[in-house]
Structures are given as C-alpha cells and as structure tokens.
Copies of this chain bind each other. A is one copy, B any other.
Amino acid sequence: MKTYQELSREELLKLREQLEGAYEDAKGKGLKLDMSRGKPSAAQLDMSREFLDTLNSDSEMKSENGLDVRNYGAMDGIPEAKRLMGQIMGVPAENVIVCGNASLTVMYDTVSRSMTHGVLGSTPWCKLDRVKFLCPVPGYDRHFAVTQHFGIEMINIPMTPQGPDMDMVEKLVSGDESVKGIWCVPKYSNPQGYTYSEETVRRFANLKPAAEDFRIYWDNAYAVHHLYEDRQDTLPDILSLCAEAGNPDMVYEFCSTSKITYAGAGISAVAASKANLDDIKKTLTLQTIGFDKVNQLRHVRYLKDMEGVKAQMKRHADWMRPKFDAVLAVLDKELTGLGIGQWTRPNGGYFISFEAMEGCAKAIVAKCKEAGMVLTEAGATYPYGKDPKDSNIRIAPSFPTPQEMEQAAELFVLCVKLVSVEKVLADREQAGEAAVG
C-alpha cells in the first residue's frame, strides 16, 4: 500500500474524485451525530436509575456521625462521602473535602481564590504583573478557558505517552517565579487517553518550584474509568509522593462522580494537604453553608464502597467499549499505512485523540460538520484555541450509540481522506510553483 505522499498526481486526482462522490453520498444521508463532548448517553445514565431510589421518605437521613444531612453544616462533607471520594482518588478521607456537583467549579474556585487571596498567605495573584500556567497539550479545553478567563498566561507543554515533557516542566517551574500552576489530567488524559508513568509522577512530586505558591492541578477525572478488564492503567498517588519529597502542599487533586453516576448531579471533591485544606476552608466557610449532603449520602448509599464503584464502572465500560472499538476498527481499517493520521488507543477515559496531517484539523472538522457530525472544535485542545500545527482532533465516542458510532467513524475517515488528498495536492502544487519560480 502506498501513502498519500507516494501517490502520483493522477492517482491523487482520481482518489479525490472518488472521495468527493462518497462525501456527497454521505451528506445525502442527513446524519445528525454529536461527538463533541465527553457526555454520557441516555442509556449510560439509565444504568444509574436505582440511584434515585436510594433515598426516600423512609430513609434514615443521618450521616454516620449523627449529622442530619438535610440541615446546614459539615462544610467539608459527611465522613462516609469523604472516605468514598478518598478511595476513588487513593487518598485518606482526612485529605478530602467533598464539594458540589462539578469538579470544574472546584477548580475554577481554586484559581479564583488564588487570584483574590493568594495561596497559603502568598500575594494574591491579581496583584502580580504576570501569572503563568503550564498547559500540557493537547489538553482539556475547559481548563484552559478558566486560566484564560483570569488573564493567566498559558505555556504549551508537549505531551508524550508517559505524560508531559518533564524536562521542560522542571526547567520552567524551577526557573520562573511567575509560573504558578500546571493543569494535569494524569490518568486517561483528555484527549489522548495517556496515563502518566510512575517516573513522570515522581518527577512531578520532586519539582523545586521557584514560586512558593506553585501548585499542580491534578484533575483525576478518570481515576476509575477503565474500558477493558485486562488492560487497566495505574497511577501512583501524587499526594503521598509529594509529602515524601518534602512538597506536601504542592498539589491539589480533583475528582467527581459526574461520569460514575449522573453527569449533571454527581458530587465532586478536592484532596490536598491539611495546610491547603485549612486554607480552602477559610474561604468555603464564607462561600457556602455546606454542599448538598443529601446527594453525598445518596451517593454513598448507592455506590457503597470501591467494590460498588468498580461494579458500576464495569457496567459503563461494557457500554463504552464497543463504541471505542468501533471507532478504532474503522480508523485501523481505513487509515493504516496511508500516512495521513495517527490516533491513540486508550485503556480508559472518554476520548480518542487523532493527529491529522499538519494544517488539516480545522478543515476535517468543518467537513464533518457539513455532513451532519459535530466534533469538538479544532484547536479547542490547545490554550487560546490555537493548535499551532492545526492537526489535533478530539473524538468523543460516549454520546452516540455504537451503531451511530460506526457511521460517525466512517464519515470521519472519509473527511480525513478527502482533506488529506487536497492537502497533498496543494502542497505538491506549491512545491512545483516554488521549483518553477
């Protein structure tokens, strides 16, 4: 098989004609597919139907320490919810504050609090001339949107299958006092599905930041979100490694049950050192009368413990896996050896990352949209929405059905091929002109 680069101009023109015909056919189908976000499908949400029966008018409404969960109080969460969220993250309950329905809010509030009040007594960031965050790329658009909103300068850090480029991270963190944070999705990263290696996590824990208020924002969003029984990534506990390395306060870890129970009605948590938690609580006392403890109790009564969480995640995986497999099968079959794209094969999480030929991502996403399929906007996986190579595309297989997923993948590879053939032709034309000129 030849790569597109190896095809002659005539072969390319003929291929383009074929692909254009197929694309017109695809447009004619009136597809309506959404692969834009890591959004669970209704079927997946239905797996937690009984979640709603967990508490009813006959239920004991006290937490295990005797607190009436319906009333005010318990800023940091009920003990059993702290324990459960701690287990999901692999940290002790005493390092956990259980929060509201979105870890995004906890992350936003953490940045916002640092802006207005600093970190553990440091100068509030809004009083500084420059604040920078490191952003492993491709990454999660909502992380970048938060830091952009606060005028924080973002620096791209290339991702590898072992995690961010740690040489670059170490150099920037230890050499620049204005670097105050780094966004990490350390397990089944968004969008590549990479899990940081043990060495990477150790290097994180042993960072020597120039800024005392530098923090690792460790968004452990997919801690228990495996796709396969026999291929499960593991991630070392960053909190204990940081403590061992003499950096106990250097990390905030976040997680939620948004993709365990209900995307819109889960519970979230932050884990950190006692000093950090005390710092957070100083603000929380003023910001809330306590998060929704009824929902915390509902979660614990429904999921019970890690065994319950694992059973729930297995049900999710059984539903998600065929969709991932469908996409991967089509990508493998249709694109292998053509030299027009690379893709990841994650063991968990919610995304597959596709790396198109340079300068093709926007065009592919636009082509897909024209034929009825919404993808995450090209560029969204980079700070400021700017993918310097215009090549990364995030595929989110969770929302469509497996059948739709196959259709979607077929359409996707078609668009990749069509845009790529045009790109190769255009490049060659330009090169020809350059040679002539």
Residues of A participating in the B interface, judged by any CB pair closer than 8 Å: 37, 39-40, 42, 45, 48-50, 52-53, 55-57, 59, 61, 68-73, 100-102, 104-105, 108-109, 112, 115-117, 124, 126-127, 142, 145-146, 149-150, 258, 262-265, 283, 285-295
A52: chain B residues within 8 A (beta carbon) = 55-57, 59, 294
Report how far A326 CA is from B30 CA in the complex, Å. 70
- Shortest distance between the CB of A39 and any CB in chain B (Å): 6
Judge whether B289 and A72 touch: CB under 8 Å.
no
Closest B residue to A67 using CB positions: B264
Closest B residue to A109 using CB positions: B287
Give 12 new A-B contacts, CB below 8 A, not counting A101-B291, A108-B287.
A50-B57, A52-B55, A52-B57, A56-B56, A70-B264, A101-B288, A104-B286, A115-B126, A116-B116, A126-B126, A262-B294, A264-B290
What are 17 contact pairs spanning A and B, CB under 8 A?
Answer: A42-B71, A52-B55, A53-B57, A69-B265, A70-B263, A72-B264, A73-B264, A100-B292, A101-B292, A102-B288, A116-B116, A145-B286, A262-B294, A263-B289, A264-B289, A265-B294, A292-B292
A263: chain B residues within 8 A (beta carbon) = 70-72, 289
Given A116-B116, A286-B149, residue A71 in contact with residue B53 (CB < 8 A): no
- With beta carbons under 8 angstroms apart, the residue of B49, B117, B124 that contacts A57 is B49
Judge whether A287 and B104 touch: CB under 8 Å.
yes
**Most central of A37, A68, A258 by chain B CB within 10 Å:** A68
